Structure formats: structure tokens, C-alpha cells
Amino acid sequence: MTINHVIKKENRTFFHPAKFSVGLWALTFPIGVFATATNILATELESPAFRVIGAFLSAQVALHWLYVAAFTALKAANGSIFAAPEVAKYNGDIPRRCGKLERDPEMQ
């Protein structure tokens, strides 16, 4: 998806603050684990290939962390950190898998 945005250069809204979700913090741990495991493999096997891959993954973790931290701070500052754009279209109604929509008691 990211490569598609870079190549086409027509839709750069993917990195827009409105598209940011706090759920992106969930990607930090797995990428960090892969980076750490790759760096340990590079040390144990004395492999230059694993060193390069480990350096790339470590840089990716650092850049991801900075990106997510910056947008989290921005969203916290303007008060929209916990606003879920995915459910905003329901206007306070709670979507259910079965049955009708129910009104959210906090929105009444």
C-alpha cells in the first residue's frame, strides 16, 4: 500500500493525521521483536546479511515509533485521540451483528 502511494503520487492522504489510529502502536512490538531477533542472529552467526537486515528493521522500528508518537501527541493535544472515525458514521448508534441498532447511552 505504501509503495502504491509513492509510485502513483496522486493520493498522499494515507499519512494524513485524520487517517491515524492509536491502534498503530500495536505494530511497534512485532517489528521490534523481528529487529531484535535478527540482530541476535547476526551476532550469533556472524552474518553480514543479517546485520544489514537487522539495521534496516531497527531503523524501521525507530521511524515507526517516532511517527506514531508524534501523531499520538498531536491527537492528544487536540482532544481527538479516542475518536473512532470507523464508527462516526453511525451517529451514536451502536452497530450490532444481529438485530437492530441500539442508541449509545453516552450519546443521549
> For 17-68, what is each residue's pLDDT tens digit?
666 777 888 888 999 999 999 999 999 999 999 999 999 999 999 999 998 8
User: Residue 93: pLDDT above 70?
Assistant: no
**Domains contained in the chain, number:** 1
Identify the bridge partners of residue 93 per DSSP, sorted by sequence position. 103
In a domain, 45, yes or no: yes
Mean pLDDT of all residues belonging to the chain: 76
Query: Hey, what amino acid is at 101?
Result: L
Amino acid 13: pLDDT: 61
**Of residues 98 and 37, which shows the higher confidence score?**
37
Whether the CB-CB separation of 71 and 20 falls below 8 Å is answered with yes
pTM > 0.75: yes or no: no
**95 lies in which domain range?**
23-107
In a domain, 90, yes or no: yes
Contacts 24+ apart (CB under 8 A), 38-46: none
Whether the CB-CB separation of 11 and 2 falls below 8 Å is answered with no
CA count, 13 A, side-chain hemisphere, 103 = 4
**Of residues 86 and 61, which shows the higher confidence score?**
61
Amino acid 90: pLDDT: 64
